[in-house]
Chains A and B, each alone.
Chain A
C-alpha cells in the first residue's frame, strides 16, 4: 500500500489531480458553512459584476450569488458523479462477471444485451430515462448509471475471461471452493485494476452528463447545479459572461482532476509501467 501511494504521487498527474479533487470535495463539504443561505435565494442586485455588491463571482439574472451556486453545485456534481458510477459499476461488474465466468450461451445473451445498450447514443437514452421518470436527483443518478455500464461490463467480461483461464483459478476450483468464492476471492481481485481505472473515468463522464441534462432543464429543481447555471446564463452571455464562465471552469477543473487521477491510477496499477 505504501509503495502504491509512492508510485501514485510520484506521477505529476496523480498529485495535481488528487489536490484538485480534494479541493472540490472540500468545497462540497463546507458549502453550508461558507454560504449558509440557499443558493436559490435572491441576495443581491441582478447582473452584478464579479466583486460588486459583496459577491465574489457576481450575481445572475435574478440576483442569485454565483459563488454560492458553484459551492453548492459541487455537492450535486460530486454526489451524482460517484453515485451514478457506483450504479454503473454494480450493473456492469455483475453482468460482466457472469458473462465472463459462465461463458457459452449465458455469455452470448449478456453480450447481445450489452450491445443493444451500446448502439443507442447514451446521452439520448439518458434524456429519455429522465424525461420518463420525472427529473429528481435519484432518477438522474439512475439514468446516468443505466447508460454508463456497458463499457464497464465489456471490460469486466474480458478481464474475468482471461483471469479465469489462469491456473490458480483452476486450482481453486479443484480445491472444492464454491463458484461464488472462486469469483469473489480469486478472479475479481486479480481483474479489478483496469476496472477501477475505467470507473474513475466514468465519474468524470457522469458529471458531464449531469451538467448537460441540467443545461437542458432536466436537472433536479431542488438542487443548484453547474449545468443549470450555465443553461440559465447562456442567453445573456454577451452582457454577463461570468454567469456561465465560472460554472464552466468548475466543471472543467473537476473533470480534469478526475481524469488525472484516473490516469495516475492506470499507471500505478499497471505493473509494467509502475515498476519501470
Chain B
C-alpha cells in the first residue's frame, strides 16, 4: 500500500483557559488516501472542525496545536513557515465551508473570485483563467456558466453558491479537499445534489476528501471510511460499511439510533375536532430596493387551507422559502396576513385585538428555531419564564413556583432559575424555551423548526420530551420542520409546502407509504442515508 495522502498522528489541539475542556482535539490519528472519502463525524464540540482547520493552519488565535503531526506530501504541516502554508492552501489542499453566503465576498462577481484563486497560484494568462473558470462552472453543474460568472453572490441560491465554492476549491486541481459541513445549511434536495456532485468530482479527479459532518445519513451516502469523534478523541474508525453495519462502540450505536425518522409512523386518529382552522390564507411580501426600483414580490402563502385537530400533531414540511415559518407567525399574528381566515377554538384570530389577542397568545405558544436567539441574553432564566405568568396576573411567588415546576419537568431543575442563557448548551436552552412556552398552560404549541439547530442525539431527546409533554397535557401541536425524518417521528398528519402552496396534505402513514405529489417524492428521495437506514430497519426487523 502506498503512503496515505494526508496523515494525522496523535494531534493535540489546546483550548484557551476557561473553555469546557483543556484540549479541543486530544490525540487524534487518521489517514486520508488518494481517491477516497473519509468522513469525520461527531456532535458539535467534538473537535471535528478544529481538526480540519489545523490541517490548513486556520486555527483561531487562542487555539494552538500542542503536539502530534500532520503529514502531507512528506512534510509536517505543523512545522512549515506561513508562506509555504499559503502556497499549499487553495492549491494542493482546498477547503469548502459550511455557510456559502458568508464564505463568498458579497461585493465581487463570483467568476472573478474563482479566477482569483487560480491567479494567485497559477501561471496562466487572463484568457486562460477565464476559460478555466467557465470550464469549472460547467463541471460543478452551474446552469449557463457564461452568464453566471458575472453574477454577484446575492443573486445566486444557496445551492448555487455552494457550487461556486466547490468550483473555487477545485480551481487548482487539489489533491486533498476538506469539506467542513458543506451541506448543513442547505435544503434536503439541494443537499442531495451537492453530495452527488462532490462524490462524482472526487471519483473523476481521484482526490482525497476529508468530509466533516454531524449527520450519519450523509455518512452512509458518501463515505468510504468513517472516523467517529467524541470529546476530541477518536471513538471508532474503519470502513464505512463495517462501522455503520456493525458499530462496535456504544457511542456510535447511540448516534445511529438517534437519527430520526425510523420509528413506526403514528397511526393518527380520524377524529374531527378542529382547534385551529386556516382557510385561504394569503400573504405576499413586497420589498423595494429603492423608490424607483420594481418591487420584489415573494409569495409566502397562496391559498393555504389546513386544520389542526385537538390533541393532534400537524407537521408542516417544506424547504426554506416555502413559507412555513411565515405561516406560524401569521397564526400568532406576529405577521399580518393579506387575506384569509384563521379560526382558533371557534373565534377568528384575525379579528382579535388587545386583551383578546393577549389571551389567545397565552393559549397558543411558540418555540423558535434558534435557542441562542430566542432567550434574552441579559435576563436570568427564571426571569424570562416568570414574566409570562406574571403578565397574566400571577403573583411573583406563584410564577416562580410555576417556573420551577416546568424547569424540573423539562429535566433542568430549579438551580437553572438564577443562571444566564449563555451558561447552557443548545439543547438545554431549547428545553428552557419549551418550559417558558408551557408555563402559560397553552392548549396549542407551535414549534418552528424547534429541533433543527440541535445535534441528532439532542434532537432525539427534545423530540421525546415534546411528545411526552404533549401526551401528558393533551396539547395540540403545529410542528414546522424542513426535515421529513423529524416529521415522521412526531406527526399525526403532514402538510407539505412549496412556494407558499400546499402540495400535499395527508395522514403521516399515508404520506410515507404512498406519497401522491411529485414534490413529496423528491423530498423523500433526498433524505440522506435513506437506503442505508431502510436496509438497517429491514435487518433489524428480521433479527
Contact = CB atoms under 8 A, between A and B. Distances in A.
Contacts of A167: 368-370, 373-374
B370 to A, nearest CB: 6
A171 interface: yes
Interface stretch (B387-395, B460-468, B516-524): B387-395
Interface string A175-201: 111100100011001100000000000
Interface string A201-218: 000000000000000000
Contacts of B391: 175-178, 181
Contacts of A172: 376, 387
A177 B376 contact: no
A168 interface: yes
B123 interface: no
A175 B361 CA distance: 7
Contact of B366 (A166, A171, A186, A190): A171
A176 B394 CA distance: 13
A189 B437 CA distance: 22
Given A176-B440, A177-B387, A189 B378 contact: yes
Given A167-B370, A181-B391, A175 B378 contact: no
A1 interface: no
B451 to A, nearest CB: 15
A159 B380 CA distance: 22
B326 interface: no
Interface in A76-117: none
B525 to A, nearest CB: 32
Interface residues of A, number: 17
Nearest to B383: A185
Given A171-B368, A171-B433, A176 B376 contact: no
Contacts of B329: 170
Nearest to B392: A176
A171 B362 CA distance: 11
Interface string A221-247: 000000000000000000000000000
A216 to B, nearest CB: 41
B373 A168 contact: yes
A187 to B, nearest CB: 10
Contact of B388 (A170, A177, A178, A186): A177
Contacts of B359: 176
Given A173-B334, A175-B387, A177-B387, A168 B375 contact: yes
Interface in A33-92: none
A120 interface: no
Contacts of A170: 329, 334, 366, 368, 374
Nearest to B375: A168
Nearest to B442: A174
B484 interface: no
Interface in B338-379: 358-359, 361-362, 365-366, 368-370, 373-379
A186 B378 CA distance: 8
A181 B392 CA distance: 13
B225 interface: no
Interface in B398-438: 433, 436-437
A189 B384 CA distance: 14
Interface in B111-161: none
Nearest to A169: B376
A174 B375 CA distance: 13
A186 B370 CA distance: 17
B61 to A, nearest CB: 8
B334 A175 contact: no
Among A170, A178, A185, A189, residue most surrounded by chain B Cβ atoms (within 10 Å) = A170
Contacts of B96: none
A170 to B, nearest CB: 6
B332 interface: yes
A168 B369 CA distance: 11
| Chain A CB within 10 A, most for which of B358, B369, B437 | B358
Contacts of B366: 170-171, 174
Given A168-B375, A190-B377, A176 B358 contact: yes
A168 B376 contact: yes
A122 B460 CA distance: 60
Contacts of A189: 376, 378
Contacts of B332: 174
Nearest to B359: A176
A169 to B, nearest CB: 8
A177 B329 CA distance: 17
Contacts of B433: 171
**A166, A167, A178, A185: which has the most chain B beta carbons within 10 Å?**
A167
B399 to A, nearest CB: 11
A175 B378 CA distance: 17
Contacts of A173: 334, 361
Contact of A176 (B361, B373, B374, B375): B361
Contact of B376 (A174, A178, A181, A190): A190
Contacts of A186: 376, 379
A185 B376 CA distance: 10
Nearest to A170: B334
B161 to A, nearest CB: 23
Contact of A175 (B368, B370, B375, B440): B440
Contacts of B362: 176
Nearest to B329: A170
Contacts of A177: 387-388, 391
Contacts of B377: 168, 190
A181 B384 CA distance: 12
Contacts of A171: 366, 368, 374-375, 433, 436
Contacts of B368: 167, 170-171
A255 to B, nearest CB: 32
A175 B388 contact: yes
B99 to A, nearest CB: 18
A27 to B, nearest CB: 36
A174 B388 CA distance: 9
Contact of A190 (B334, B378, B392, B436): B378
Interface string A12-47: 000000000000000000000000000000000000
Contacts of A178: 391
Nearest to A271: B377
5 contacts: A168-B374, A168-B376, A168-B384, A170-B374, A174-B437
Question: 9 closest A-B pairs (Cβ-Cβ)?
Answer: A175-B388, A167-B374, A167-B368, A176-B391, A168-B376, A167-B373, A177-B391, A176-B358, A189-B378
Interface of B: 329, 332, 334, 358-359, 361-362, 365-366, 368-370, 373-379, 384, 387-388, 391-392, 433, 436-437, 440
